[in-house]
Chains A and B, each alone.
Chain A
Amino acid sequence: GENVEQHPSTLSVQEGDSAVIKCTYSDSASNYFPWYKQELGKRPQLIIDIRSNVGEKKDQRIAVTLNKTAKHFSLHITETQPEDSAVYFCAAKGGGADGLTFGKGTHLIIQP
């Protein structure tokens, strides 16, 4: 089955700086890669996603890049703000399955 690795587990950045979270996946047939933000005690919230037919997608301060050859995708947050502090999860949907496989999460801390 699919396996998703996520790094780093904790990321601390100064407010206003950029943050990058990286994930790799194992199933070359995976075709959908969402990113979720989860605040303490809250539900995972879909913040951006990318399908395997594109290499990059941007939504205001958030962007995701996908390298299918390397089986690698990344989340980029620019001009970080205190409200960006949360746990971020990457996920992948395999070609033969509909359930998402999640990474272990990155705790993003925005230092004032």
Chain B
Amino acid sequence: DTGVSQDPRHKITKRGQNVTFRCDPISEHNRLYWYRQTLGQGPEFLTYFQNEAQLEKSRLLSDRFSAERPKGSFSTLEIQRTEQGDSAMYLCASSLLMASGSYEQYFGPGTRLTVT
């Protein structure tokens, strides 16, 4: 499968615990995005990377959230001291930045987080 992959697909954690998710983008894509989707809503942008540089962060990304893309390939999203409001589907997407710009974003299957 050459699409975007995410791991784990499901995570159940107790309130206050830390969790980490992984995203592997399409291999030639240099931009990687994190979104959060709650039931009945569209995805909400969290942050994105160009290669290993984090270029944009949404106001939704509180200081309990941190994302990395250390070698410009896979990325991790960590949530510290999880709260019940963090329960959501965390989606990763990737795109290719070309001379004309960066456009098509392709999504992974997501990691569904449930905080109990």
Contact = CB atoms under 8 A, between A and B. Distances in A.
A37 to B, nearest CB: 11
Interface string B43-59: 11111100000011010
Contacts, number: 61
Given A43-B109, A104-B41, A105-B41, 11 more contacts: A34-B103, A42-B109, A43-B4, A44-B91, A46-B105, A46-B106, A97-B56, A98-B55, A99-B35, A103-B42, A104-B40
B73 to A, nearest CB: 19
B29 interface: no
Interface of A: 6, 31-32, 34, 36, 42-46, 49, 51, 89, 91, 93, 97-105
B76 to A, nearest CB: 18
